[in-house]
Amino acid sequence: MSKSALSQHDSLFKKFLGDIPIAQDFLEAHLPLHLRERCDFSTLAMESGSVIEDDLRTQCSDMIYSVQTNSGKGYIYTVVEHQSRPEKLMAFRLLRYSVAAMQRHIEQGNNTLPVVIPVLFYHGTTSPYPYTTQWFDCFADPELAESVYRQAFPLVDITTIPDEEILMHRRVALLQLVQKHIRTRDML
């Protein structure tokens, strides 16, 4: 697709979805029911800026909306895919955009993460969209990835492990003991 056509698609997308009542209709039509039920669409507002990396701006356009939910402020994030072919790792890219929106939220002085709902708006020539939008499917081992990322990350809190247990950790025991007692003045 030519740069001119991409620019026209981008302008059309932003013109329509920049209108809050149209964006509200779009989201009410396309978000899953369990997400729609949590959103107060009367609070839908456009957020400024973009979370798409500079090198992808010629291929994509994004719109970010804030909306009050039953658990606070959330973001609805949409991406228009301007490529003529689908992207196999689009789910990962959507995750990256979501994390970027969360980071921006934190940088604005907030101390909790908002829920960001990424929405892929696809209009390519291949139909239907042939790839998953489940980011776990981007891994070679989706089951392993899900087992890691759907639970708390492993924590090694050396302050709670008794020294006797640390001594059984073989080659790493010395490092752990030093780190555990590093603030002890008379360690030696």
Number of domains in the chain: 2
Q: What is the rounded distance in angstroms from the CA atom of residue 133 to the CA atom of residue 141?
A: 16
Domain co-membership, 92 together with 179: no
Domain co-membership, 76 together with 162: no
DSSP string, 87-141: -TTHHHHHHHHHHHHHHHHHHTT-SSPPPEEEEEEE--SSSS--S---GGGGSSS
Give tens-digit pLDDT for 122-169: 888 899 999 999 999 999 999 999 999 999 999 999 999 999 999 999
Domain co-membership, 104 together with 132: yes
Domain co-membership, 131 together with 165: no
The answer to whether the CB of 62 falls within 8 A of the CB of 10 is no
Q: What is the pLDDT of residue 55?
A: 53
- Residue 178's domain comprises 155-188
Domain co-membership, 87 together with 177: no
Domain co-membership, 56 together with 19: yes
Longest dimension (CA), the chain: 72
| 46, pLDDT greater than 70 | yes
Domain co-membership, 81 together with 110: yes
Q: What is the pLDDT of residue 47?
A: 82
- pTM flag (> 0.85): no
